[in-house]
Amino acid sequence: MLFLPRFSHAQNQPLLASKRSTTQQQTAIFMMIFHTSMFRAAWIIALLPLIAACKSTSSVAQSERHSAEAQSQSPASTTPPQTAQTLPSGDPQPYFPTVPADADTVVTISGLKYVEYQIGTGAEVKKGMKVKVDYAGYLLTGKLFDTSIRSIGQDNSFDRGGYPFQPLDLTVGVGQVIQGWDEGLTTNMRVGGMRRLIIPANLGYGPQGMRPTIPPNATLVFDVKMLEAK
């Protein structure tokens, strides 16, 4: 009679457990690799629009740089930009001197600007004084809309509509003229002085303007000379 060795089920359990553990580890490693690959793919997909936008921005910047280089290589314009200090355009008027482009501009709290190009030597102008003023008024486009000086009117083919060319008499600082004038004529100005007033719309004719010569919200430029003050 043959006696075969007996192996109990308990003796086989460690081997089965080892195989099962190895399989689980392999499965876990596979899932980890799978999830990592999916995560990377999702990030790449999400970054594609950003990469495209960066390329587009780089292209625009390169185009602007090329444009700027082309402009820098082109001949510079000899025509200065038109500003309130370079008005009136064209030949200098014989009555008022030309305002230098680098002249100092005084800015008051209200927003009024003025350029002093001839300091007066007479009495200082105060509110309530009766004054006599010569003037020429322009829009920022350079268009003359009023003047008391015949030569300037003729040079600009300007007709006062029957009114004579003569200095303006007024009591300054009491509201007879626009606010920019009242302030501009009584801020450190003396008889004999000449200055350029750059008057914002809120100190001029405001949003309503003064048709047909002054449009709404217009900045006004006046060359003025103080002839008398008493």
As annotated, the active-site residues are 135, 145-146, 178, 205, 222
Q: Would you say 126 and 186 are in contact if contact means Cβ atoms under 8 Å apart?
A: yes
* 43-52, long-range: CB < 8 A, 24+ apart: none
Distance CA 61, CA 16 (A): 67
SS3 129: coil
Task: Please list, in sequence order, all residues whose beta carbon lies within 8 angstroms of the beta carbon of residue 225, skipping any fewer than 6 positions away.
Answer: 95, 96, 118, 133, 134, 135, 192, 193, 194
